[in-house]
Every structure is written in structure tokens, then in C-alpha cells.
A and B are shown apart, each in its own frame.
Chain A
Amino acid sequence: MAPRVRVQVVLFETPAPTCARLLDGLGASVAHALGRGLAASVTVAIGDCSSPGVDERTGAALAGTSPLSIEWVPFGQNLGHGAAQNRLAEGATEDVLVFLNPDAYPAPGALSALLGVVAEPGVGIAEARQVPVEIPKVVEAITGDTPWCSGCFAAVGLPLFARVGGFDEAFFLHGDDVDLSWRIRAEGLRSVYVASAVVFHDRWIEPTGYASSNDVAAQHMYLADLLLAWKAERLDQVEDLLETAGRGAPWEQAAAAQFRSLRGEGRLPAPYGFDAREALASYRLRRF
């Protein structure tokens, strides 16, 4: 029986044309999945973390522009990505959750491909292949198994999401998807990269070949590295990262200061309680 699907998007000061593009692509992808009987229904929940006023304008600009069934949830404050996703999922009754970035544009067949794979026995979470810049993480060529799934466009069973406790809200912007993937894998389930599910992710390309990033994003990524090492109980790596940050760029120093502050206040998340050393090691591996 086809699952009932809930697609969740979290906005933050997202320009209306970017949202319109997202809904355009998502609309075609939803129509594809419904048309092929891969979803019984699709609800789109959009949570807006923008400041009051901005969220109203965005909501008004998009009202009636998409045939999708949309739940519009203005939060009135920036909860952070993971927390906002958790709020959107509270009380949800669908079978499958799909996380989608606002700066994405899924190919028509992408949602169908994700739903097909996440429904396979043993699969916990499935992610789409990103263009034009891929995440340089390790992917097993035949099976698609990968150490973690990006939350840019990923599907997970709602009961499983609830069972593992949803996103860890200690991660504000980055790393929450990595952390979620590890906890799902700790349940004995697979994390899978679905090459046939194509999603455009709006990023620029650096001369190094990787996606460009700004200082704020880089700071959150560095903080995520610290939190992941902390939860994996690799205190040696935490100290290494803190020491490196001391000699590093301002955004690295800011991330280290934020971590120390959380630690001082006793607000760091609890360790995993399972052996995440291998996961942490594979997280640091780059495919290219």
C-alpha cells in the first residue's frame, strides 16, 4: 500500500522567487509520485523561521501559487533547522517524512525514486543525488550505502524518525542530518544514496571544485564537527578541533567559543551511548 507522505521545508528569510521555484519543482515531483501510485497522498508543511513580517510577506506571495496541499507554519523566530523540522513533525500522522531544503529544485522523478528506496526492507533513510555540486562523501557504488544522508532532500519513515527522537536540536544549522543518520544506522538500518533521485541544490562552485560557503555556514559546520565528536565521545578530537580553531579563521574561533560556552553552561547534548567512532571516521573521509 502506498504511503502517505509529508514533505517538510524550513525557511529562513528565503526570497519568494526561491520558494516559488521550490514549489514548482516539488509540484512536478509530487505529481510524478502520485501518478505512479508511489504515494497515497502528499502534504507539504512549510515552517518559516523568518522574523515576523518577512514570513507574512513570503506566505502572502506564495498563497495560491501552487496546487500542492500546503500547511504554512510561521514560527516567528529562528528555531534552527532541526528544531523547526521537529515542530513541523509534531502530531504528524503520515507514514513517510521527506526533508527538503528551500534552495532546492527536485527533478520530477526524484520523490518517486526516494520513496521507492526508503520503502525497501532494511533502509532507514534515503537521500537524493545533488547537482550541480555533489557532497564529497563516500558512497558504495553498487548499493548506494553511505555513512550519512544530507537533509537537502531525504526521506525517512515517520515512526522511525519519532523512535530515534527526531533531530537533535543542539545542531542549529548543519550536522543535524549527519547526527540523525548515525542514530538511524545505530538501529541497524541503512543510510542510502539514491543516484536516480536528482535534486538541484542552489550552490556556487569554488575554484577548489567544492560548493561555496559563507562564514556563518562555515562556523555552523565547524560547530557541528565539534558536537559530533563530543557525542561520539572522541574528546581527543574535540580538543584537536578547539586547538586548531585557536589558530584558524575567525569563524573557526567563533565556533570554538560557542562550543566552550555550551560546555560551560552544561548545555552540550548527551553522548550517543553507542560506538560512533567508525561513523565519525567515515564522516571525515572524502570521496574526492
Chain B
Amino acid sequence: MATVDPSPAAGGAAGGRYDFAVGPGTPYARAVTMLDRHAGPGLVVDLGCSFGRVAEVIAERQRTYVGIDLDDEALASLRARGHDTGRLDLNLAGDVARISDVVGDRGVGAVLALDVIEHLPDTAAFLDRLVGLLRRWGDPLLVTSIPNVAHRDLAAKLLGGRWDYTDVGLLDRTHVSFFTEGRMLADLGAHGLVCVDADDVVVFPAPDQQFPPLHPYLVESTPAARLISWLRALPDSRGDTYQFVRAWRRSPGAAPPPPVPAPTPALRVIIAPRSDHDALDGLEDTLVCLGAQDRDDFDVIVPVASEQLGAVETLVGSFAVSFAGRVHPRALPARTAAGRLNGVLGQVRAPLTAFVVAGDVVIATWVRHFVDAADAHPGAVLRARSFRRLVERSDGVTLSQTNAVAASDEHFDLWRHLSADQLPLGSFALPTALCDAGLRFDESTRAASWKFTFLAAMLAGVAEIPTITCVHQRLDGEQEPSAEELGAALEQTPVFLPPGWVPRLQGDRDHLAYLAGELPAARAQADAASRLYDQIRASPWWRASAPGRRGLALIRARRRARG
């Protein structure tokens, strides 16, 4: 996206505070492009138009412009430039209704609401009235421009204890309502408006909140700023977006009905494919364990490749309705296991999300342990003990070769997890809020599962469940990511460690330094001993005494044989 400076001075227009020019890349220029792309013939009604410098650009397109605002000076400017205006207050229901009087019987091709909605205290009431007008006018195009309160700089400044209003910009001092992309989509969507085009404005690297100068949270190169940017980038890619410039159409039907409140399960289980190409062999083993859980306030989602959906639905449908009704196979186009998992992460309502790899098996209290541990350790990642077992598969049937090959360590250790996976998915649950905050499986690495669990553990800490609740099946020949692959997966990610790590790192470093210091002396001793040994073996005395040594060896062997 283009970079744009939204300051009034850059607009080049003398006059009021909101007298912005329609320069390239500005929200106004983008709005005009959207009109060109999507609007039908008819009037362009500009709500909250201020000086409406966009009017001339619209007029050039042989369209008639009508500006609506309360600012007398701005409206006078528009009229002086030959444009139609209406002096109305968008906060007042009666005034909004009177916009139709201004329009009269002229057809409306588009409605602009550029930098308007954030100035109105009652968003829902305004949208109700706006949608009423759109319906009356035959559902013309709506174009909005709304500042992004979830801009990375605002997040960084809030962490630094600052919330700085400015005359214009992200935190214009007259803003009374603040929008993230999610809130915008939800509020407009709830009024039956569907986004049909987006051309958002990105202001970087010099947006209007980059002060005070040299603030380490704002300067891109500092560790603190990189950490903040990484965290902000987890939930969405809008951290650098200044304005959401969007085109909307009212959907033909009414606004979608409010969602029917359903009981929220305590936990959602996501069954992970074992690999990118896994046909979910062993799924029956996993499902039968989940069906046998001693509580039923959980549901299960099974992300599958499209071609697997029929078989999985048949399998699920063969279970008792009380369980099958809580298992939801989902066909996803993603080609990788990580992609399929990401495809369902956003669909979780339960406060807790647990994973189990298809084919892994769990005890009857697996869910109970997680739910109870979440109550005792709110917010933490939960890790139960598990076993790994070597298995082979034949015609989709699992055959154990061994029982437990290796039990997981009694206690989780992030330090060890750095070089070997200590959190197989079946022993792992996390607060769903972490997924809502954007934690996803990295589809570009074979170590996706490990990276996901590492970052979750790093962000939320780990609460341990001492019981062995899961048997992790390891297929004969299955290759796990190497330590090098694990390292590469995290190379570009800022990593922080929980309190208490500094003494441990110091101790490890000192120990390594001690060993390194001892090494030359030990090597010298070993070399000296080796030289002495060679000298002895080469000496005439050694050669001369050989028959005696052979005789002694024979005597000793005879003694051993006699017992």
C-alpha cells in the first residue's frame, strides 16, 4: 500500500482543520477510485464532507456531488465552488432523515462517509439511520474511511504509558469512537453491510504518533520495538494500517440475525493430522478415546483435506449421537497439516483449546485434567505428561511394536524444549485467547508444531499436570525435525524468557567457561600420557619382557576357569 502524509499542510489547501487535498494515495483519492470501480450512476452524497475537496474530482467524472456537514465555513466554501450542500447534524435522527429532503428525487449512486463515523458517539444509531437511507435509495455503494486504533504505534505508546491526542490523525482529539478492523467489520456487518473492496492507507515510517523522538518502543530497530511489532503482527497484518478505506454494499437480505447463544464448551479439541499427506489413519483410535471421556462439555473439530471428508464423516457418524454430535469434520483446501490446523483455529469458542494428533490415544480424564488445570492456573499453557510409543500401521490399523519408548520428563523445561520437542500436541492445551491474539502454526517449516508450542509456552508460561494422560504414537521411520530445523524456525522471532532464567544462564555460561579453561590442560595431560605409552611400547625392555607377560596372562586365565 502507498504511504501518505495526511497532514492538512500536505493537502495544500488553506482554510479549516479538515481541509484536505485529494492527493495521490490519500483516502479521498482511494474513495474516488472505488466510485469509479463500483458506483452506479447518480448523486454522490458526502456525509461529514467538511471542505469536500473531493467534490471537484467527482464533478470531473460527470457526477453530481452533495456535501452534508455542520461546519458553516466548510459548507460556504463548497457552495462557492458550485456544489450542492445540506447543513445537517449526523448525530440527530431527524437531521439524518432530512438528508433525503436534500437529495430529493434524484437517484443516488454512492454515499461517502470519510473520516466520519469515529466522530459520532452512537455508532449503532448512526448505522441504523444510514442503512435506512441506503435502503430508500436502492442500495447504492457506500465508501468509508475509518482510522485504525490498533495501529502498532498506539499499542507501543500505550505500553509506554502514553495516549497522545493530536489535532488530526489517528488520535484526532475529536474522535469519540475507536475502531479496529474487527470492530468495523462486526458493526457494519451487523447492519447488513458487506465489504466489497478495500484500499487501506498505510502510513509508515512517519505516521503522526511517532513521538517523542527516539522512543525505543517506536524506533524499529530496537529489541523492544521488534518485540512489540512481532506481538502486534500475530493477530492480523493491520498494525501499520492508518485508515481502513472500504467500499460496502448492503446485502440483499436483512441484516443477519443475531447469533443464537449456544452453551460454550469448556474445551475444544482439534485433531491434528500427523503429516501433510496423512489420510488420518488411526483417527478411530483417537475418537474412541475422546468418546470415552468422563465429561462431555467439550467438542472436537477434525480438519481434513477435501477428499477425506466423506470417509471421516462416515466414521464420525458411526459413533453414538451423544458424541458424534460434538465432532465436526471440516474440509479445508490447505495442503499442509499446519495450514489445515490454522484453518480451524479461528473457529474456537471454548476458552481452552487442546490438540491431539490423529492416532494418539488419551485416558478418560484427559479433558478433565486440562479443564481443572485451567481453573487452577488461568491463562497458562497446560502440559500433561505423556508417553511416546513406537507403532507401525498396516491397512490403516495401528500395531504397537513397543509400549512406552520414552516417558516425557516429569517437569517441562523450556530450555530443553529449545533443542528437543517436550510438548507433543496431545499433551498440550492453551487458552484460546492466545489463538485469538494471532498465534498460528508456521506453514513454512517442518517444525510448525514445535514452534507453535514454544511460542505459546513463552507467551503464557506452562502449568504442569503430573498425570500421564496421552500416549503419543511415533510411526516407525517417522522423522522428527532436527535441532537445527528447530533453531531455524525461530531465527527471526524475538524470544524472551520467564523470570528466573538469568542465574541459570549465568551458571551454564560459567560452567562452559570453566570447562573451556580446563580443556587445554586436560589435553596436554592426555597427550603426555599417550607419548609415554608409545615410548614404553617401543622400548627394548618392553619387547624383552613380552614372554613373561604372556605367561602371567595364561596363569590368570587358568585361575578364572577354575572359578
Contacts and interface: CB of A to CB of B under 8 A. Distances in A.
Partners in one complex: yes
A141 interface: yes
Interface string A180-204: 0000000000000001101110111
B320 interface: yes
Contacts of B322: 24
Interface string B302-321: 00000000000001001110
B387 A198 contact: no
Interface stretch (A43-51, A54-62, A86-94, A126-134): A126-134
Contacts of A31: 318
A200 B288 CA distance: 6
Interface string A14-42: 00010001001101100110000000000
Interface in A93-138: 105-109, 129, 131-134, 136
Majority secondary structure, B binding face: strand
A208 interface: yes
Residue from B292, B294, B407, B468 having most chain A Cβ neighbours under 10 A = B292
B436 interface: no
Given A107-B288, A136-B403, A207-B407, A131 B318 contact: no
B397 interface: yes
B481 interface: no
A51 B294 CA distance: 24
Contact of B399 (A107, A195, A200, A209): A195
A199 B315 CA distance: 15
A202 B320 contact: no
B136 to A, nearest CB: 56
B525 interface: no
Contact of A133 (B284, B287, B320, B471): B471
B292 A200 contact: yes
Identify the interface centre among B323, B362, B468, B471: most chain A CB within 10 Å of its CB.
Answer: B468
Contact of B403 (A27, A134, A141, A195): A134
Contact of A24 (B315, B323, B394, B399): B323
Interface in A250-269: none
Contact of A17 (B288, B289, B294, B400): B294
B199 interface: no
B318 A132 contact: no
B292 A202 contact: yes
Most chain B beta-carbon neighbours within 10 Å: one of A25, A27, A108: A108
A107 B398 CA distance: 14
Interface string B392-404: 0010011111111
A210 interface: yes
Given A105-B288, A205-B387, A200 B318 contact: no
A161 to B, nearest CB: 27
A200 B291 contact: yes
Contacts of B407: 207, 209
A241 B323 CA distance: 46
A132 B362 contact: yes
Q: How large is the interface on A (under 10, 10 to 19, 20 to 34, 35 or more residues)?
A: 35 or more
B359 to A, nearest CB: 10
Contacts of A203: 363
A136 B320 CA distance: 30
Contacts of B387: 205, 209
Interface residues of B, number: 35
Given A25-B320, A200-B289, A205 B400 contact: no
B319 A108 contact: yes
B364 interface: yes
B362 A208 contact: no
A210 B288 contact: no
Given A107-B284, A198-B288, A200-B364, A205 B468 contact: yes
Contacts of B468: 204-207
Nearest to B286: A131
Nearest to A203: B363
A131 B289 contact: yes
Contacts of B315: 108
Interface in B261-301: 284-285, 287-289, 291-292, 294
Nearest to A202: B364
Contact of B402 (A27, A196, A205, A288): A288
Contacts of A107: 284-285, 287-288
Nearest to A130: B361
Contact of B361 (A28, A105, A132, A208): A132
Contacts of A208: 404
B397 to A, nearest CB: 5
Contacts of B319: 28, 108
Nearest to B387: A209
Contact of A132 (B287, B323, B401, B471): B471
A186 to B, nearest CB: 28
B467 interface: yes
A125 B12 CA distance: 92
Given A107-B284, A108-B318, A204-B363, A25 B403 contact: no
A37 to B, nearest CB: 15
A288 to B, nearest CB: 4
B318 A109 contact: yes
Nearest to B317: A108
A207 B389 CA distance: 13
A131 B288 contact: yes
A246 to B, nearest CB: 30
Given A205-B387, A209-B404, A24 B318 contact: no
Interface of A: 17, 21, 24-25, 27-28, 31-32, 105-109, 129, 131-134, 136, 141, 195-196, 198-200, 202-210, 287-288
19 contacts: A21-B292, A24-B320, A24-B322, A24-B323, A25-B288, A32-B318, A108-B315, A132-B361, A132-B362, A132-B363, A141-B399, A195-B394, A195-B399, A198-B285, A205-B471, A209-B403, A209-B407, A288-B402, A288-B403
8 shortest A-B CB distances, which residue pairs? A209-B404, A132-B361, A105-B292, A108-B318, A200-B292, A288-B403, A24-B320, A205-B468
Given A129-B398, A287-B403, 14 more contacts: A21-B294, A25-B288, A28-B319, A105-B291, A107-B284, A131-B361, A132-B289, A136-B403, A195-B394, A198-B284, A198-B288, A205-B404, A205-B471, A206-B468
